[in-house]
Chain A
Amino acid sequence: MKRLIPACVVLFLGAFAALPVSYVYGEEEWRQRPSSGETVGADDISAEIAFGREVSARILGRYKLYDNPDVTKYVNLVGRSLVLNTNRPELDFRFAVLDSSELNAYAAPGGYVFITKGALALVKDESELAGVLAHEISHITGKHVVKELNIKGTEDSAVSGFARLVGGSSESARLAFSQAVDKALDMLFKDGYKREDETEADRNAVLLCALTGYDPSGLGRYLERIGAIKGKQTEVIDRTHPSFSARLAWIKETIAGEGVDTAGLKTNKERLTEAKKNLK
């Protein structure tokens, strides 16, 4: 018996050595067991959309909606062509323009993307617009707000019903919901997303543009242009995002690292110029 133990331990450790280990830096995703972490239930998606609607309604309350069908259609066409290359087909992505001279774009969970009129006026080609929209889309596909605020659907089973008896009532659920909405607005207008989330959104924006056929350096060009502007228009974006130089460097690094051939990708300058004619 006493000899069996060391034999077992040696065999076990041998198994460790034999199994392949990947050396890529991860975000401890490998720790997640199937029962935890990622929410994939239909009611989680419903909860995310309902939450996103509340946040969107408040974005639209803060900034007026720029109700121009031609411009809105164009932005939607660019946005939705990007969305075809994402991994959240359960969401209906919607794109809208905000009537504001501020230079910013917002994403609310559930698929709501907003871009200001000022930002639209500043983009010079379609790949730049695609870059901005791709960045916002990436916040949604990356579930940054959902994870940060733990937006989940409630379960409808006997087990969880009992657990809810112990843990929470509808009153506290309602309170928690409105608090979560407030926190989301703070993230959008005051504090910004976590640094890692912004980095991930910029990286995925580059990849998304490349996958869709847009030149991902468009986002870099746009950021460079904003970086040169100082004033009230950039107040919110300055407050809520990492520095432009940091973002530019990271975007360039991603393009190089992923082997993206920017020369072979589209910028569609003419199409954007044509669409901007409708911008009043």
Chain B
Amino acid sequence: MKVKILLFFIIAAMTLMFAQPLFALDAYYVQSIKAKVMSASSFKSAILGEVGKGYKFESSGRQGSWIKVTFNAKEGYVSTLLLSTHPPMEKAGLIKAEGADINQGVRRRASTSTSAAAARGLTSDDRMRTSREEEIDYKALEKVEAFVVNPDEVARFMTGGKP
């Protein structure tokens, strides 16, 4: 009886060991707007096709800066720059370092940001006053963040339009 129990363990373990390599492939998701699938791990090679953001590839390995994938039953390569092992994420929310907002943010979502913890009790003005060695310019940062560029403008720019 005891030997049977042990044999069960051995068989279970071995099944796990040998079954997985047959089915386990890493999954990669396209993060960029578009991604070209090349026929070899080189920019010189022919393009097999193009896929969009969120497309899932089954990969059998990595070759330099290219991920080897299966595309339309053929072997293809996609640049690692365009892929990630998780699906594309939504744009993350910004936590603005404003006095009143940050205190409320602390109570509501205190655990989601280390900066919230650091800012607990301190507004941005306080932080500016307390920093002695380095200068900090939040106003300039806000200007940088407020600068909006339309995605259509970017698209036009890429096809040769004037800025």
Binding site for B on A (CB under 8 A): 1, 4, 8, 11-12, 15, 19-20, 22, 24, 26, 38, 40, 42-43, 45-47, 49-51, 53-54, 56-58, 60-62, 64-65, 67, 69-70, 72-74, 76-78, 80-81, 84-92, 94, 96, 112, 141, 151-156, 170, 173-174, 176-178, 185, 203-204, 207-208, 210-213, 257-261, 271, 274-275
A259 adjacent to B43 (CB under 8 Å): yes
B95 adjacent to A46 (CB under 8 Å): yes
**Complex Cα gap A22–B147 (Å):** 45
Chain B residues 136-163 with CB under 8 Å of chain A are: 136-138, 140-141, 143-145, 147, 149, 151, 153-154, 157-158, 162-163
Residue in B31, B111, B134, B154 whose beta carbon sits within 8 Å of that of A58 in the complex: B134
Residue in A62, A64, A177, A258 whose beta carbon sits within 8 Å of that of B65 in the complex: A258
* B70 adjacent to chain A (CB < 8 Å): no
Q: Which residue of A lies closest to B149 (CB)?
A: A76
Note all chain B residues with C-beta closer than 8 A to A210. 43
Assuming the A-B contacts A12-B17, A61-B136, A87-B84, are A77 and B144 also in contact, with contact meaning beta carbons closer than 8 angstroms in the complex? Answer: no
Q: List 6 A-B contacts (CB under 8 A).
A: A26-B62, A40-B86, A72-B147, A90-B90, A90-B92, A151-B114
B88 adjacent to A156 (CB under 8 Å): no
B135 adjacent to A174 (CB under 8 Å): no
Scoring B88, B97, B163 by chain A CB atoms within 10 A of each residue's CB, the highest score goes to B163
Note all chain A residues with C-beta closer than 8 A to B62. 22, 24, 26
A85 adjacent to B81 (CB under 8 Å): yes
A28 CB to closest chain B CB (Å) equals: 13
B135 adjacent to A173 (CB under 8 Å): no
Scoring A73, A89, A257, A260 by chain B CB atoms within 10 A of each residue's CB, the highest score goes to A89
**Complex Cα gap A1–B149 (Å):** 72
**Complex Cα gap A207–B18 (Å):** 38
B81 adjacent to A87 (CB under 8 Å): yes
A173 adjacent to B91 (CB under 8 Å): no
A81 CB to closest chain B CB (Å) equals: 5
Note all chain A residues with C-beta closer than 8 A to B63. 22, 24
A82 CB to closest chain B CB (Å) equals: 10
Residue in B17, B89, B115, B163 whose beta carbon sits within 8 Å of that of A90 in the complex: B89
A165 CB to closest chain B CB (Å) equals: 13
* B14 adjacent to chain A (CB < 8 Å): yes
**Complex Cα gap A257–B79 (Å):** 14
B82 adjacent to A87 (CB under 8 Å): yes
Q: What interface size band does chain B fall in? A: 35 or more
Residue in B92, B140, B153 whose beta carbon sits within 8 Å of that of A46 in the complex: B92
Question: 1/0 contact trace for B63-94 toward A, CB 8 Å?
Answer: 11100000000000001111111101111111
Note all chain A residues with C-beta closer than 8 A to B104. none
* B117 adjacent to chain A (CB < 8 Å): yes
Residue in B18, B90, B114, B158 whose beta carbon sits within 8 Å of that of A153 in the complex: B114
B11 CB to closest chain A CB (Å) equals: 10
A60 adjacent to B140 (CB under 8 Å): yes
**Complex Cα gap A50–B112 (Å):** 10
A24 CB to closest chain B CB (Å) equals: 6
A90 adjacent to B88 (CB under 8 Å): yes
**Complex Cα gap A271–B156 (Å):** 13
B88 adjacent to A49 (CB under 8 Å): no
B111 adjacent to A61 (CB under 8 Å): no
**Complex Cα gap A93–B64 (Å):** 27
A256 CB to closest chain B CB (Å) equals: 10
A86 adjacent to B81 (CB under 8 Å): yes
B115 adjacent to A50 (CB under 8 Å): yes
Instruction: Name 14 extra pairs, CB < 8 A, besides A24-B63, A69-B147, A74-B163.
Output: A54-B97, A57-B136, A73-B149, A77-B163, A81-B158, A86-B32, A89-B31, A90-B89, A94-B144, A153-B112, A154-B112, A213-B158, A260-B44, A261-B44
